[in-house]
Structure 1
Amino acid sequence: MRHGFIKTAAGTPKIQVADCVYNAGEILKLIRQMETEGAKIMAFPELCITGYTCQDLFWQTLLLDSAKEQLVWLAGETSQVDALIIVGLPWEYNGKLYNVAAVLNRGKILGLVPKTNLPNYAEYYEARHFTPADPETHMVTIGEENVPFGTKLLFSCPQMPGMKVAVEICEDLWVPNPPSVGHALAGANVIVNLSAGDEITGKDTYRRELVKGQSARLICGYIYATAGEGESSTDLVFGGHNLICENGSILKEAKRFINETIYGDLDIRRLVTERRKMTTYPAADTTGYQEIAFALEKEETKLTRTFPRKPFVPSGKEEREKRCDEILTIQAMGLKKRLEHTHSQSAVIGISGGLDSTLALLVTARAFDFLGMPREKITAVTMPCFGTTDRTYRNACDLTEKLGATLREVDIREAVTIHFRDIGHDMENHDVTYENCQARERTQVIMDIANQTGGMVIGTGDLSELALGWATYNGDHMSMYAVNTSIPKTLVRHLVRYYADTCEDDRLSEILLDILDTPVSPELLPPKDGKIAQKTEDLVGPYELHDFFLYYMLRAGYEPDKIFRIAVQTFEGVYDREVILKWLKNFYRRFFMQQFKRSCLPDGPKVGTVAVSPRGDLRMSSDSCVRIWMDQVEKLS
């Protein structure tokens, strides 16, 4: 439960229709298994104590009494189980029968939630037996306890601040205005759905998208437990298609037709953070709702949830290729508009033979194609200096030629040497002045060439460099339009590789693959034995770590110790704890210290959910103090 994680479970017992004693025993077996796995919220299918397919047996008093007896028995048998348990059964109230979800915790029945929307079409005829829920909350007596009976019940846990659980049943989700909408607006961020939908061809796809979409729309965790094998097959087959989703993502999905129990670690704190920062999400209005407390032991949640090592990059090949093409188009369309608006006759790019300038050139070529402008109007400027290697120089020239742009070479060694003399800098002193003089000279050159050609300078720096401040202020930091400004380094690599894989030009692909194989470097220090001497990741840390840190800090709102926890798990076997901690410290220090560079960024298109534009996603003062973040990081040592 630390860091806001809570383990949840959705299980489908193999029942026997109308045998409440047997079914309660099977439910208890699953509860014991879930308990072993550390689940704190346990969901079971609709009417699982009796079976959904009892049909007119629901009119039998004996069945209803047996179901109630077994619910009380289950409550007693789970008095030592540290969990919130939700099971389905029929319940008679005021002479009418209701399809309800019973909520149990530590031997107590906390509430009964009746189903609101009863399907009575096609294969369903629930209105034959059941009555829709009354909007009012009533009290029913079970043994010596008075228990609330109604749809507007919220279950909260003092040991898990911020978490509120609500329940809806099957068809309630499939209607135009599900009860879960009202529950979420009242503050519920975990919705449990007890279901018994049968399987027909293609329905699983719709169900999956429905549950996933509702979790996204409501910014909640959604636990969907449905009936499976054991229900009557007289006319229908039930698949046990259990789902656990969180804010539009599927955490776990059961294989159908095997009654699989699934587990998912919901991140309650992230859900709370997402709702808080979304200004269009209304404040909770609990009017008409009753809040019921339940208890859990406060303990560590052993995470089975995985976190993508490259959160900015889709994992599946098909989705990744689709996303890469979309991103390249967004970048190119942003540049297209700017070129049109400024009536630019050319675009000027400082081409280094590295990844970022390669991507910028590819994007610019696409923008020119969209405009119907000849690619020779793109001027790619290579500016050799003290750190340039033959490999990067050759790749820069070959790439420009292959794309049909105009190559221009300006050797800046002499200009920089004169500048060193003018400011009294020792050529043998390879400090930050030595490096930045070269970066600023290159920027001056391409700015002036842009003036010569009636064009604009296209920025090449990426999101990862901006996060770390790994850019020379008023050097490569500056441009007239920055196409890579919201592309992290890990994604830059995939975009270039996508282009190499799909360009249908063997020579262009060969060049791009060699660029991908070249170490990331600003090439501002003299090479050693003709090879790159200055490798960025040796200096600031691995970009895959920094992109991971950046995503979970800005997108998810995680604090340093939570990021460290999931990073250690995610990168196990790749980086040890000490290495991750070293670069996490460096990340926070640089992120806060270098905000002044992000405060005056050039314009550039946003392509994903994380961006640092001062006009858009990141409004942060340049002199914000990093103290409380670093204090937490230091405690991890």
Structure 2
Amino acid sequence: MNYGYVKVAAAVPRVKVADCKFNAREIEKEIIIAEGKGVQIIAFPELCVTGYTCGDLFAQQLLLEEAEMGLIQIVSNTRQLDIIAILGMPIAMNGVLLNAAVVIQKGKVLGVVPKTYLPNYKEFYEKRWFTSAVDVSERSVRLCGQVVPMGTDLLFETADTTFGIEICEDLWAPIPPSSSLALQGAEILFNLSADNEGIGKHNYLCSLISQQSARCIAGYVFCSCGFGESTTDVVFAGNGLIFENGSLIARSKRFSFEGQVIISEIDVEHLRTERRVNTTFSACRAHCAPGEAVRVFTEYVNSKELNLTRCFDPHPFVPQGVELNERCEEIFSIQVSGLAQRLVHTAAKSAVVGISGGLDSTLALLVCVKTFDKLGWSRKDIIGVTMPGFGTTDRTYTNALDLMNSLGITVREVSIKEACIQHFKDIDHDIDVHDVVYENAQARERTQILMDIANQTWGMVIGTGDLSELALGWATYNGDHMSMYGVNGSVPKTLVKYLVKWVAENDMDEASRMTLLDIVDTPISPELIPADENGNIKQITEDLVGPYELHDFFLYYFLRCGFRPSKIFFLAVRTFKDVYDEETIKKWLQTFFRRFFNQQFKRSCLPDGPKVGSISISPRGDWRMPSDASSEMWLREVESLA
């Protein structure tokens, strides 16, 4: 299976201005390299057969004839290859000259796309030599002895995708041709360019491509001229850029003196899912798309074995590099703003939080502290309640008290042991049987205490459960599952850890910082089972339900991308190959799907809480699913995995 991936390439060949034979050889060389690496579609820069900087030589008949001979040479020498190539060259017809993209495959010219917008300002003088596509009425052209379709509305259909083409300045127009092509069905857009360099221009270009690929919900492959073009007045760096729905997935080395082939895979299956989900895209297609495009069918080729070159972040919810600090601040601010509005609206006098010494309750407490500080309210009106039970360890108990004291909130301690013992007597449950009754009774007792303290103090119970727990149903129904406002409800577990660490390292007193860092290093546990003989945590969550980094990976690609189990497994095996073996990944993937479907009833009645990222499972927001939906198809596919 290729899992919906289409392997594409942006080529930046060496050129010699006006030496078509040399340029044709270099183009051939890069086509052969790409074919050998399984590339299905490769694009070359604008006017690469002649060189972009020929100037008034474009008026020379010899140059135009040699350009066509160069194309014939390329077509002939690559006729045994399956790969589709998109080349830039001048095409003369009926007294005009077109700056065009030519699509070839297996010895045939499939179609010609002329440039629409010809720059004629500053260093550009294209109207001196070329005619715009809008001024040409012909719909076909004779090229290399073949009569082929021509136009800006050509869509090329392969067995795996549909693609369209625009040329350089087209992208810079207020409404690029690629917008129309995308609305008519193009999933991958290719741009043949001769974009020259200037200070700051490259970043602007990347921003432009990113935005266009995002608006079009498409892959975007951009390739521009490099070494060998004339440097009389400008310099060309050779930009090969591949974007997918706003994200850069591959790029060339700029200012290289050698030819380059930049290869990556565009996930067309994901793009199709995004388009189906995005109702704005379909609405725009219905109202703004022009007339029916001309569809050009390419030769069918057998799919090669997928050799994926893309890398996938093992922690897709966690920002990387320089973005981490900025993103953590933004997420934290969203949580704070959400809670502030709810407190002000309800005229609450206090915020009540159960503090366990674990990550989730710590993050909820930090959100409360920041919210009260921002509102100018006293931290003493935050009531932190530690409720030691049968499984509470000295480490978490001490951390809970130390953190509450260092933050200056009101501390209350209410042991749940006696109340639970009485409850077990009332329902005739053996206290030595540590089953689900034993565990859930403790969680519900804690929730009752918090709710009643909130009533006492005219306050609100602030929920602590996170996105990952809610996805797996790792919460006691009407226990820690319930609150009056859940500030962590759309924050995944892997991100909670980074958020707490970020707060610890930014604007926090030393005592609080040390406690927070120890909480980050504490094993994740509900602490509902008594500790071992050494007082250490005995019940470790990740031993029971699986590693949260795996579950968050599964959750992201299942909900955000709509991937099927086999594709998620394929990506997980590649991404975690040095951490987990295939059997382990399969085991926890099965657990994920079983629990996700079976525990929907808990998510169907979640308390309010702010959405902070691209995924939420609120029944009022992103995820509406019947509580009795069958998981059979998903589990059957997991079971069939090798």
The TM-score, its normalising length taken from structure 2, stands at: 0.97
Q: Is the 8 A contact 2:184 2:292 kept in 1?
A: no
Q: Partner letter of residue 55 of structure 2? A: Q
SS in 2 for 1:281: helix
Q: Specify the alignment match of 2:123 in structure 1.
A: 123
Counterpart CA distance in 1 for 2:418 and 2:80 is 80
Query: Which residue is equivalent to 1:594?
Result: 599
1:15 and 1:51 in contact (8 A); partners too: yes
**Among 413, 422, 426, the residue aligned to 1:422:** 426
Matched AA of 1:110: L
Give the drift of 1:261.
2.2
Do 1:460 and 1:482's aligned partners in 2 also have CA atoms closer than 8 Å?
Answer: yes
Confirm whether residue 471 of structure 1 aligns to residue 475 of structure 2.
yes
Once residues 25 and 286 of structure 1 are traced to their aligned partners in structure 2, the CA distance between those partners, rounded to angstroms, is 39
Counterpart of 2:547 in structure 1 is 542
CA distance in 2, matches of 1:503, 1:544: 28
Q: Distance in 1 between matches of 2:413 and 2:80?
A: 77
- How far off its partner does 1:265 sit? 0.7
**What's 1:442 paired with?**
446
Matches for 1:429-508 after TM superposition, within 5 Å: 429-508=433-512
| Matched residue, 1:559 | 564
| Structure 1 residue 501 displacement after superposition | 1.1
Q: Give the SS at the match of 1:2.
A: coil
Q: Report if the CA contact (8 A) 2:71-2:144 is conserved.
A: no
| Counterpart position of 1:213 | 211
Sequence identity, in percent? 56
Cα distance, 1:24 vs structure 2 = 0.3
Query: Separation in 1 of the partners of 2:639 and 2:445?
Result: 39
- Give the CA deviation at 1:287: 2.3
From 379, 383, 386, the equivalent of 2:383 is 379
Corresponding position of 1:345: 349
Question: Hey, what's the Cα distance between the residues in 2 that align with 1:260 and 1:65?
Answer: 27
Q: Which runs of 5+ in 1 are unaligned?
A: none
The alpha carbon displacement at 1:136 in A equals: 4.9
Matched letter for residue 421 of structure 2: T
Q: Superposition RMSD on alpha carbons, in Å? A: 1.1
Aligned to 2:177: 179
Aligned mates of 1:391, 1:139 — CA distance in 2: 77
**Corresponding residue to 1:253 among 246, 251, 254:** 251
Q: Relative to structure 2, which stretch is displaced further, 17-26 or 135-144?
A: 135-144
**Does structure 2 retain, via aligned residues, the 8 Å contact 1:461–1:482?**
yes
In the alignment, the residues of structure 1 paired with residue 490 and residue 236 of structure 2 have an alpha-carbon distance, to the nearest angstrom, of 46
For 1:525, the equivalent position in structure 2 comes to: 529
* 1:492-547: CA deviation from partner (whole Å, max 9, x where unpaired): 00000101111342211110010011000000000002010000000000000000
Partner of 1:356: 360
SS of equivalent residue, structure 1 residue 219: coil
| Distance (whole Å) between structure 2 residues aligned to residue 46 and residue 507 of structure 1 | 61
Per-residue deviation, 1:596: 0.1
CA distance in 2, matches of 1:299, 1:627: 31
Q: What's the counterpart of residue 154 of structure 1?
A: 155
Structure 2 residue aligned with 1:141: 142
Give the 5 Å matches for 1:509-524.
509-524=513-528
Residue 408 (structure 2) aligns with: 404
Q: Output one character per residue of 1:112-155: Cα deviation in whole Å (capped at 9) or x when no partner.
A: 10000000000000000000003756111234422011111000
CA distance in 2, matches of 1:368, 1:273: 41
Q: By how many angstroms is 1:36 displaced?
A: 1.6
| Equivalent-residue separation in structure 1 for 2:11 and 2:579 (angstroms) | 35
Task: Output the CA distance in 2 between the equivalents of 1:545 and 1:308.
Answer: 11
Aligned counterparts, 1:621-636, within 5 A: 621-636=626-641
Equivalent position SS for 1:513: helix
Q: Does 1:570 align with 2:575?
A: yes
Question: Matched residue pairs, number?
Answer: 633
Change (3 A) 1:625 1:286: farther
> Alpha-carbon deviation of 1:78?
1.2
CA deviation profile, 1:327-377 (whole Å, cap 9, x unmatched)? 111001000000001100000000000000000000011111121110010
- Distance in 1, matches of 2:366 and 2:610, equals 15
Partner of 1:222, secondary structure, is strand
**How do residues 231-250 of structure 1 correspond to structure 2 at under 5 angstroms?**
231-250=229-248
Normalising by structure 1, what TM-score? 0.98
Give 1:170 deviation, angstroms.
Answer: 0.2
Amino acid at match of 1:147: V
- Which residue number in structure 2 is paired with residue 304 of structure 1? 309
How far residue 296 of structure 1 moved from its aligned partner, in angstroms, is 2.8
Q: For each residue in 1:236-281, what CA deviation from the matched residue of structure 2 results, as whole angstroms up to 9, or x when unmatched?
A: 1100011000001000111211143211110000001100110111
Change in Cα spacing, 1:512 to 1:149, as seen in structure 2 (3 Å) is: same
Deviation for aligned residue 1:164? 1.0
Amino acid at match of 1:202: G
Q: Structure 2 vs 1, CA of residues 143 and 8 (structure 1 numbering), >3 Å: closer, same or farther?
A: closer
The answer to whether the Cα contact below 8 Å between 1:187 and 1:286 also exists between their aligned partners in 2 is no
SS in 1 for 2:12: coil
Amino acid at match of 1:60: Q
2:429 and 2:596 mapped to 1: Cα distance?
29
Contact 2:180 2:290 in 1 (8 A): no
State the distance in 2 between where 1:77 and 1:224 align. Answer: 25
Q: Distance in 1 between matches of 2:81 and 2:516?
A: 58
After superposition, what is the alpha-carbon deviation per residue over 1:88-130, rounded to whole angstroms, capped at 9, x for unaligned? 0000111100000000111110001000000000000000000
Aligned counterparts of 1:260 and 1:287: Cα–Cα separation in 2: 38
Cα distance in 2 for partners of 1:72, 1:301 equals 31
Could you say what secondary structure the match of 1:564 adopts?
Answer: helix
Bigger shift: 350-359 or 68-77?
Answer: 68-77
Q: How far is the alpha carbon of 1:288 from its aligned partner?
A: 3.8
Q: Which residue of 2 aligns with 1:200?
A: 198
Q: d(CA) in 1 for partners of 2:353 and 2:292?
A: 62
| Aligned residue among 605, 612, 615 for 1:610 | 615
Contact 1:226/1:242 (8 A) holds in 2: yes
CA contact (8 A) 2:351 2:461 kept: yes
Q: Which amino acid aligns with 1:622?
A: S
**Aligned partners of 1:567 and 1:460: how far apart in 2?**
28
Alignment gaps of 5+ in structure 2? none
Is 1:22 aligned to 2:22, yes or no? yes
Deviation string, structure 1 residues 403-427 (Cα, Å, up to 9, x no partner): 1111100011000000000000000
- Note the alpha carbon deviations across 1:6-62, whole angstroms, 9 max, x for none: 111111111100000110000001111111221111010000000000000000011
Which residue in the other structure is 1:68 paired with?
68
Q: What code does the residue aligned with 2:143 have?
A: I
- For 2:156, the aligned partner's letter is F
Residue 38 of structure 2 corresponds to residue 38 of structure 1:
yes
Does structure 2 conserve the Cα–Cα contact (< 8 Å) formed by 1:12 and 1:228?
yes
CA drift of 1:475 comes to 0.2
1:266 matches 2:263: no
User: Does structure 2 retain, via aligned residues, the 8 Å contact 1:40–1:296?
Assistant: no
The structural deviation recorded for 1:73 is 1.7
Distance 1:68 1:179 in 2: 26
- Once residues 191 and 143 of structure 2 are traced to their aligned partners in structure 1, the CA distance between those partners, rounded to angstroms, is 23
The amino acid of 1:576's aligned partner reads D
Alignment partner for residue 393 of structure 1, among 381, 394, 397? 397
SS in 2 for 1:280: helix
User: Aligned residue for 2:374?
Assistant: 370
Instruction: Find the aligned partners of 1:178 and 1:297 in 2 and give their Cα distance.
Output: 33
SS at match of 1:493: helix
Equivalent-residue separation in structure 2 for 1:181 and 1:632 (angstroms): 37
Aligned AA (1:223): V
Distance 2:302 2:225 in 1: 30
* Residues in 1 aligned to 2:239 and 2:85: alpha-carbon distance in whole angstroms: 19
